[in-house]
């Protein structure tokens, strides 16, 4: 059940990254910036999983 949710989240964020017209849309097609893209997607995943983490991070 948990694995199913994780896979759905990955698909969701992959589609968000394709829809997003920001800089990461272009980075997705550059192999040199693949690591930057994955760190961006991890950040998005963490924000979805823990919505308050951004506020906690800014308080530090």
For residue range 26-37, what is the model confidence (pLDDT) as tens digits? 655 665 566 777
CA 46 to chain centre: 8
Q: How far is CA 2 from CA 6, 7, 12, 35, 39, in A?
A: 6, 9, 15, 25, 22
Domain boundaries, the chain: 2-59
Better pLDDT: 60 or 59: 59
pTM of the model: 0.34
C-beta separation of 37 from 24 below 8 A: yes
pLDDT digits 0-9 by tens, 1-47: 788 888 877 777 776 666 565 556 565 566 556 677 777 788 888 77
Give the span between the Cα atoms of 26 and 31, in whole angstroms: 11
* pLDDT score recorded for residue 58: 67
DSSP assignment of 18-48, as one string? HH--SHHHHHTT-GGGHHHHHHHHHHHHHHH
């Amino acid at each position: 059940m948990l694995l199913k949710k994780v896979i759905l989240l990955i698909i969701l964020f992959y589609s968000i990254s394709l829809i997003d017209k920001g800089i990461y849309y272009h980075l997705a097609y550059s192999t040199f910036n693949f690591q930057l893209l994955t760190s961006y997607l991890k950040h998005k995943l963490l924000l979805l999983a823990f919505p308050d983490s951004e506020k906690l991070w800014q308080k530090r």
